[in-house]
């Protein structure tokens, strides 16, 4: 990682950390006289064998129920009301974190939703007429004319598809809310055999369990977020609906997210490690780790316990990312929707965002990290609108953003009839079941929302939704990275597929991105009625590299035809 933040990782890797306990702000259970069972995620001290950790845990009343020995993280259960205090005395433990949701992939009213990435509840009971359509180019998918995002990055029948549409030998992992593999545009590329669900539904978070075990099958998505991401990466080039950036690669659902939108630490770590173990080539991570938006190790506004918890999140995530990257996984993440210069953050009023009502305002600085966005070895992506302007919501910064990609920007072309038009957002695959549950379809299956598109062929219909967010930008870069591995990868003896060193994939991705200079004036005024001036953003850097665009806008065609780009 560029800038000051690299110093922390150097200390972690070179010196290790003093064994300490990590705790959330005070809440029910800890230190009480009742001995109700509790769960924690423990992080092993560097170099300590799992057997020694189990012995230490047994001594303080902890039992391992789930372990990832590869990176030294485990979930434990205990009846010890003083577990955190006792864990402090155990040299075998680097830390312990109360087991609770720590990541957010999408909206749920029960918790803090990401307002940017919500599918709007705009309905018309009489039905919504389909948008006026341009004539589709011969050989293109039926919805191609609605995909301004693919046109921007030259992913088309006369672009990258004609040269390299990807190969089934390349595996792309989607760590998210799941993938609806019944969707006609995703089914051809979905791997049931390799997909895994590391999540158990929790009724308090996700609503009633749909299955007796509370573990969803690997081919469902009750949120919609993961399905939308997967379609942008690899919707099939099959004459139906739309196509993704890499329409012939293999999609692997590596589910780490709850139906309600949050992620637990253990499933996320397990998902990243699993990607490394099976030889996944590229992983998309369109989420950030909660409950802390910014993870600060020594913020005076936080209690010592809160500081230690945030340090634990950083260390555990970095271990998993390092493990996967060492095994050939290129990891790509959304830069976040906080309209913030990540190299110069100043305030965080949303943390901790779970459980509800315990967050407090605090000042943050450049030593604080959003994870996994700012983990060493992860490629953060900023979001652009149809005009190639940075979306007002998108985070930015010369220390973090490596490339940019279409993410949608509802207010692009402000002052024109297209203002707030659905078509300014990114269209991608979406589960019919989620649309039905939200009341966005009429009884005859026609959409009730202008943000939903239906495409039918031979009595088979499928649905697509317009969303915006950096979660929509990252999968464009993930798709281009998958094409790079398809074009330049070598045989992978582990799984019979292809592989390419992540540093090589990243270099080609960045070198072949289309340079885009900062706007003039560099301070962009995003102020509109009801929008504070704090959204305004200053673009720092040169035409070759700057905080809005990084190395440039990813380009699928250049990536597979000229790996040196224009450098």
**pLDDT score, position 26:** 36
* Judgement on whether residues 368 and 406 belong to the same structural domain of the protein: yes
Take residue 288 and report the two structure tokens written for it.
């950030």
- The range of the structural domain enclosing residue 71 comes to 25-99
Query: Residue 416 falls within a domain, yes or no?
Result: yes
Query: Residue 13 falls within a domain, yes or no?
Result: no
Q: Is 339 exposed, middle or buried (0-12, 13-18, 19+ CB in 10 A)?
A: buried
pTM of the model: 0.91
Region at 87 (left for phi over 0; alpha for psi -120 to 50; beta for the rest): alpha
* Judgement on whether residues 53 and 181 belong to the same structural domain of the protein: no
Query: Residue 62 falls within a domain, yes or no?
Result: yes
Q: If you search the block for the tokens 């950390």, which residue do you land on?
A: 17
Query: Residue 16 falls within a domain, yes or no?
Result: no
* Judgement on whether residues 47 and 156 belong to the same structural domain of the protein: no
* Judgement on whether residues 412 and 527 belong to the same structural domain of the protein: yes
**pLDDT score, position 12:** 41
Note if the bond before 473 is cis, omega within 30 degrees.
Answer: no
Could you please report the per-residue DSSP string of 248-314? TSEEEEEE-B-TTSEEEHHHHHHHHHHHHHHT-SEEEE--EE-S-SSB-SS-TTS-HHHHHHHHHHH
Comparing CA positions, the residue from 76, 235, 52, 218 lying closest to residue 161 is 235
Q: Is 138 exposed, middle or buried (0-12, 13-18, 19+ CB in 10 A)?
A: exposed
Torsion of CA 82, 86, 92, 96, to 10 degrees: 40
We report the CATH number of the domain holding residue 62 as 3.30.70.80
Q: Is 250 within 8 Å of 479 (Cβ atoms)?
A: no
Q: Is 471 within 8 Å of 105 (Cβ atoms)?
A: yes
* Judgement on whether residues 44 and 128 belong to the same structural domain of the protein: no
Sequence length of the chain is: 567
* Judgement on whether residues 522 and 483 belong to the same structural domain of the protein: yes
Q: pLDDT tens track of the chain, all 567 residues?
A: 344 444 344 434 333 333 333 333 333 334 433 457 888 888 999 999 999 999 999 999 999 999 999 999 999 999 999 888 888 789 998 888 877 665 666 544 444 457 788 888 777 655 555 555 556 676 789 999 999 999 999 999 999 999 999 999 999 999 999 999 999 999 999 999 999 999 988 887 788 988 889 999 999 999 999 999 999 999 999 999 999 999 999 999 999 988 888 888 889 999 999 999 999 999 999 998 777 889 999 999 998 878 878 888 899 999 999 999 999 999 999 999 999 999 999 999 988 877 777 889 999 999 999 999 999 999 999 999 999 999 999 999 999 999 999 999 988 876 555 566 799 999 999 999 999 999 999 999 999 999 999 999 989 999 999 999 999 999 999 999 999 999 999 999 888 999 999 999 999 999 999 999 999 999 998 876 556 667 899 999 999 999 999 999 999 999 999 998 866
Query: Residue 396 falls within a domain, yes or no?
Result: yes
* Judgement on whether residues 84 and 156 belong to the same structural domain of the protein: no
The total of structural domains in the chain comes to: 2
Q: Is 122 within 8 Å of 425 (Cβ atoms)?
A: no
We report the CATH number of the domain holding residue 238 as 3.40.50.200
Query: Residue 275 falls within a domain, yes or no?
Result: yes
Q: Alpha-carbon Rg of the chain, whole angstroms?
A: 23
Q: What does DSSP say about strands 73-78 and 38-44: parallel, antiparallel, or unpaired?
A: antiparallel
Could you please report the per-residue DSSP string of 111-164? S---GGG-------TT--PPPP-PPPPTTS-TTGGG-HHHHHTT-STTTHHHH-
CA dist 492 and 451 (Å) reads 41
Query: Residue 517 falls within a domain, yes or no?
Result: yes
Task: Mark which of 67, 99, 131 sits at the end of a domain.
Answer: 99
* Judgement on whether residues 246 and 353 belong to the same structural domain of the protein: yes
* Judgement on whether residues 455 and 413 belong to the same structural domain of the protein: yes
Q: How far is CA 542 from the centre of its chain?
A: 28
* Judgement on whether residues 138 and 70 belong to the same structural domain of the protein: no
SS3 per-residue string spanning 10-46: HHHHHHCCCCCCCCCCCCCCCCCCCCCCEEEEEEECC
* Judgement on whether residues 349 and 295 belong to the same structural domain of the protein: yes
Query: Residue 18 falls within a domain, yes or no?
Result: no
* Judgement on whether residues 58 and 163 belong to the same structural domain of the protein: no
């Amino acid at each position: 990682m560029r800038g000051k933040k690299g110093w922390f990782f150097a200390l972690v890797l070179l010196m290790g950390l003093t064994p300490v306990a990590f705790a959330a702000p005070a809440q029910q259970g800890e230190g009480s006289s009742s001995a109700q069972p509790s769960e924690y995620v423990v992080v092993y001290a560097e170099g300590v064998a799992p057997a020694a950790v189990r012995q230490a845990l047994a001594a303080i009343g902890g039992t391992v129920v789930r372990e990832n020995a590869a990176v030294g993280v485990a979930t434990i259960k205990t009846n010890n009301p003083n577990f955190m205090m006792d864990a402090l005395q155990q040299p075998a433990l680097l830390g312990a974190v109360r087991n609770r949701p720590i990541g957010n992939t999408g909206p749920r009213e029960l918790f803090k939703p990401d307002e940017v990435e919500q599918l709007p509840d705009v309905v018309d009971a009489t039905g919504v007429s389909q948008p006026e359509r341009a004539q589709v180019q011969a050989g293109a998918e039926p919805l191609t004319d609605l995909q301004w995002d693919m046109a921007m990055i030259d992913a088309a029948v006369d672009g990258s598809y004609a040269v390299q549409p990807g190969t089934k030998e390349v595996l792309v992992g989607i760590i998210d809310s799941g993938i609806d593999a019944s969707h006609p545009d995703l089914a051809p590329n979905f791997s049931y055999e390799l997909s895994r669900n590391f999540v158990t539904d929790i009724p308090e978070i996700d609503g009633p369990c749909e299955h007796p075990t509370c573990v969803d099958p690997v081919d469902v998505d009750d949120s919609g977020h993961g399905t939308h991401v997967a379609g942008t990466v690899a919707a099939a080039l099959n004459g139906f609906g739309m196509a993704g950036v890499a329409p012939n690669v293999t999609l692997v659902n590596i589910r780490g997210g709850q139906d309600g939108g949050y992620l637990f630490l253990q499933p996320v770590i397990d998902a990243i490690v699993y990607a490394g173990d099976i030889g996944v080539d590229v992983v998309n991570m369109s989420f950030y780790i909660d409950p802390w938006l910014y993870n600060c190790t020594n913020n005076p506004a936080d209690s010592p316990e809160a500081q230690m918890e945030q340090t634990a999140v950083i260390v555990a995530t970095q271990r998993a990312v390092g493990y996967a990257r060492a095994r050939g996984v290129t990891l790509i993440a959304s830069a976040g929707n906080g309209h913030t210069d990540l190299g110069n953050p100043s305030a965080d009023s949303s943390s901790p965002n779970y459980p509800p009502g315990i967050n407090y305002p605090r000042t943050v600085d450049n030593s604080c990290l959003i994870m996994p966005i700012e983990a060493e070895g992860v490629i953060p992506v900023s979001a652009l609108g149809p005009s190639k302007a940075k979306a007002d919501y998108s985070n930015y910064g010369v220390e973090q953003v490596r490339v940019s990609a279409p993410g949608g920007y509802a207010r692009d072309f402000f002052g024109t009839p297209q203002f707030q038009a659905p078509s300014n957002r990114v269209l991608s695959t979406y589960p019919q079941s989620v649309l039905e549950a939200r009341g966005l379809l009429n009884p005859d299956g026609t959409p009730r929302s202008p943000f939903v598109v239906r495409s039918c062929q031979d009595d088979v219909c499928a649905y697509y939704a317009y969303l915006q967010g950096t979660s929509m930008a990252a999968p464009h870069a993930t798709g281009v990275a998958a094409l790079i591995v398809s074009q330049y990868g070598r045989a992978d003896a582990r799984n019979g597929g292809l592989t390419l060193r992540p540093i090589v994939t990243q270099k080609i991705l960045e070198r072949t991105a289309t340079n885009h200079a900062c706007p003039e004036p560099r301070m962009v005024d995003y102020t509109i009625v009801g929008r504070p001036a704090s959204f305004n953003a200053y673009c720092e850097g040169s035409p070759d590299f700057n905080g809005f665009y990084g190395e440039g806008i990813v380009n699928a065609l250049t990536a597979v035809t000229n790996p040196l780009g224009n450098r």
